[in-house]
């Protein structure tokens, strides 16, 4: 694999996952890293300082610099009709069989969770992206060791994706010598591979 300039992979890329870790996809996540890493590091440092203040007895409050947001006359866009009814949501890992079962569960929403529901091994992170790639295109299936077959039903849950937290790093992908943010890795790969497909659906 030809890696873009400044990118170093420190994890193996099995041949069946090469479609996820393409040069273009890695270039995209590197662009995200270069755009946001300085801000991320600043926020993480401020978080440590603020925690020290709280530990020393300071009370939480509202930052003066955000007064205009709190007092402003603004609104957000309305929730799209397709996700107005979220009475039943489930969360789970990005494991292939679990993704199929969750999408078939008759819940309104399945949130594929790259953080709390997923063991953060390199292979799990990348294979999870591959599983979601296939799920978005409705070509995901699985045959268990005992021969049971799993496929998607015609009606499936709406897919949400939760990337890892802003504070977590993906040590297997370095950009300019720094580990990339796990959040940007997870979001970047999912968005790069699936945004256009999801918009077309």
CATH number at residue 175: 3.20.20.360
Q: Report yes or no on 67 lying in a domain.
A: no
Q: Report yes or no on 150 lying in a domain.
A: yes
Q: Report yes or no on 4 lying in a domain.
A: no
Report how far residue 109's alpha carbon sits from residue 83's, in angstroms, rounded to the nearest whole number. Answer: 8
Model confidence over 107-117: pLDDT tens digits?
999 999 999 99
Report how far residue 157's alpha carbon sits from residue 37's, in angstroms, rounded to the nearest whole number. Answer: 34
CA 31, 117, 161, 159 dihedral sign is positive
Range of the domain at 182: 10-50+86-200
Q: Report yes or no on 38 lying in a domain.
A: yes
Q: Return the DSSP state at 163.
A: P
Q: Report yes or no on 63 lying in a domain.
A: no
Assign 56 to helix, strand or coil: coil
- List the beta strands (DSSP E) in the chain: 7-9, 89-92, 109-113, 141-143, 149-151, 158-162, 169-175, 178-181
Q: Report yes or no on 66 lying in a domain.
A: no
Q: Report yes or no on 91 lying in a domain.
A: yes
Q: Report yes or no on 153 lying in a domain.
A: yes
Model confidence over 177-198: pLDDT tens digits?
999 999 999 999 999 999 999 9
Q: Over pLDDT 70: what percentage of the chain? A: 100
What is the value of pTM for the model shown?
A: 0.91
Domain count of the fold of the chain: 1
């Amino acid at each position: 694999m030809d890696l873009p300039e400044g990118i170093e992979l420190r994890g193996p890329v099995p041949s069946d996952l090469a479609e996820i870790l393409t040069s273009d996809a890695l270039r995209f996540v590197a662009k995200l890293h270069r755009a946001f890493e300085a801000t991320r590091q600043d926020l993480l440092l401020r978080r440590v300082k603020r925690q020290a203040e709280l530990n020393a007895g300071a009370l939480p409050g509202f930052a003066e610099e955000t007064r205009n947001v709190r007092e402003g006359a603004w609104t957000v866009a309305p929730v799209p009709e397709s996700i107005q009814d979220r009475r039943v949501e489930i969360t789970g890992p990005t494991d292939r069989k679990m993704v199929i079962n969750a999408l078939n569960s008759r819940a309104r929403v399945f949130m594929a969770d790259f953080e709390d529901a997923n063991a953060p091994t390199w292979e799990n992170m990348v294979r999870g992206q591959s599983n979601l790639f296939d799920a978005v295109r409705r070509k995901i299936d699985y045959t268990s060791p005992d021969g049971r077959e799993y496929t998607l039903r015609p009606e499936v849950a709406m897919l949400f994706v939760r990337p890892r937290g802003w504070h977590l790093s993906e040590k297997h992908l370095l950009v300019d010598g720094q580990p990339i943010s796990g959040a940007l890795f997870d979001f970047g790969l999912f968005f790069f591979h699936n945004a256009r497909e999801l918009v077309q659906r």
